[in-house]
Amino acid sequence: MFRACWICVAMLMATSVIAAEPALVFDLVGADGRPHTQAEWRGKKAVVLLFLATECPVSNFYAPEYVALAQRFAKENVAVYGVHCDRDLTAVQAKKHADEYKLVFPILLDPKQVLASATKVRVTPEAVVLSADGVVQYRGRIDDRYAENGRRRDEAQTYDLREAIEAVVAGKSPKVRETKAFGCLLPKR
């Protein structure tokens, strides 16, 4: 019986080691030409992936909000990344887009849609909030300014992404873990 208990302890320890590995693994090039991996997340409280498209008016509309969120939460040890899933988009074009919209965070090129597939993202803009170990905590819209019928409110009434980030930073699960994002469909793979 004593031996069986040690076997159980060993199995539990092995399970906890596996659970500590990032749930999301990637190796992508950024618009800056440098490689980026989930290893950059070490020590972060949360990671935000903002799925963008250069030609999507809804995605571009939210650029000031992306920047405000990135600047606000950088002080709370949150990493923010923009992700482009267009396989024809070059690093030069992505950098030009980032410069034009004053995006102050790393931009990842995901032409094979590795991150989009792993996080089940379907449109731009769509946001994903991950815990530091890469587990999806929130997926969906930035806020409720855009509706399914394509109409836009002047002011948001619900700030889904911001509230999700705040919860994860506080060590809690977001009250709302998924919302439907409206915008432009990701390019076909």
Q: Which of 3-12, 105-114, 119-128, 177-186 is least confident?
A: 3-12
What is the per-residue pLDDT for 188?
82
Tokens found for residue 116: 């989009």
* Cβ–Cβ < 8 Å for 86, 113: no
What is the per-residue pLDDT for 185?
95
Residue 18 belongs to some domain of the structure? no
DSSP state of 146: B
Q: Which structural domain range is residue 43 located in?
A: 23-185
Residue 5 belongs to some domain of the structure? no
What's the whole-model pTM score? 0.86
Cβ-proximal residues to 77 (8 Å cutoff; 6+ apart), any chain = 43, 44, 45, 169
Chain segment 85-138, per-residue pLDDT in tens: 999 999 999 999 999 999 999 999 999 999 999 999 999 999 999 998 889 999
Cβ-proximal residues to 75 (8 Å cutoff; 6+ apart), any chain = none
Q: Is the pLDDT of residue 11 over 60?
A: no
DSSP state of 39: G
What is the per-residue pLDDT for 15?
32
Residue 2 belongs to some domain of the structure? no
In total, how many domains does the chain have?
1
What is the per-residue pLDDT for 23?
62
CA distance 134 to 73: 17
Residue 11 belongs to some domain of the structure? no
- Domain CATH number, residue 45: 3.40.30.10
Residue 168 belongs to some domain of the structure? yes
State how far Cα 120 lies from the chain centre.
11
Give mean pLDDT, residues 17-28.
Answer: 59
